[in-house]
Amino acid sequence: MIRHELVSRGCAGRFADQIARLIAGASTKGGYNEGEDRLRCALWSRVCSQLCDRTKQQQKMRYIRSSLFVAVVWLMLSGHYTALILALGAVSVLIVIWFMWRMDRVDGELGVLPMRPRLLYYLLWLMWQVVLSNIDLVRRIWDPTLPIRPTWQRLDIKVTSTLAKTLYANSITLTPGTLTTDVREDHFMVHSLSPDGIDELRKGEMERQIQRLGI
């Protein structure tokens, strides 16, 4: 009954569940009183409405920042600025934002990466690692003296947040020659074209770069 009252007053379901438990606990301790419960519902629903409005504003700003960030990355990677390419880029940005909305990524720990100067530095650093890995991969393909010994090994990790793990796992996969195949609480399973790739990851430079982002 309490939850239904809150929802009918415009309180979002995820807030209504928490508030209903608080009101129910208060009623249990102080004795049940329908009038008092309705008053509590009215007060809490107002607070809930304000929280929801604030959350929506924050989500809207995150969507805008994310749209601009994805658009800039698209333009940088494309290098072509014809009407068709720009239209495809706009569609791609909308699809990305739609997926973010569907997955509710902006409201939890898997939120949008904070737009900080350190993030730009990390992206530039990662792009340079991709270039170096491509060069190493081409050398291994063309030079028969360089070994290609595929291996699948455990990589222990120190990052703890879901966002940091996601960024770390995807960074490994974006780097040619390595692929994250499984993500666990304290380790990844990584496939590499040679043991050197795993050894380079175990040095921990990529993980340290992610830790400096503070996510």
Q: Is-contact 44 19, C-beta < 8 A?
A: yes
Residue 207 shares a structural domain with residue 132: yes
What pLDDT does residue 109 have? 46
Mean pLDDT, all residues of the chain: 77
On whether residue 37 sits in a domain, the answer given is yes
On whether residue 110 sits in a domain, the answer given is no
**Alpha-helical runs (H) found in the chain:** 2-8, 13-30, 34-78, 83-103, 117-142, 162-174, 195-202, 205-211
Q: Which residues pair with 155 in a beta bridge?
A: 188
| Total number of domains constituting the chain | 2
- Given 103, 128, 157, the domain boundary residue is 103
- Residue 76 banded pLDDT, cuts 50, 70, 90: confident
Determine the average pLDDT of the residues in 137-156: 88
Cα four-point dihedral sign 95, 100, 101, 102: positive
Residue 53 shares a structural domain with residue 132: no
What pLDDT does residue 60 have? 78
Domain encompassing residue 151: 117-211
Q: pLDDT digit string (tens) for 149-189?
A: 899 999 999 998 888 898 999 999 999 999 999 999 899 99
On whether residue 19 sits in a domain, the answer given is yes
Residue 91 shares a structural domain with residue 7: yes
Q: How many residues does the chain have?
A: 215
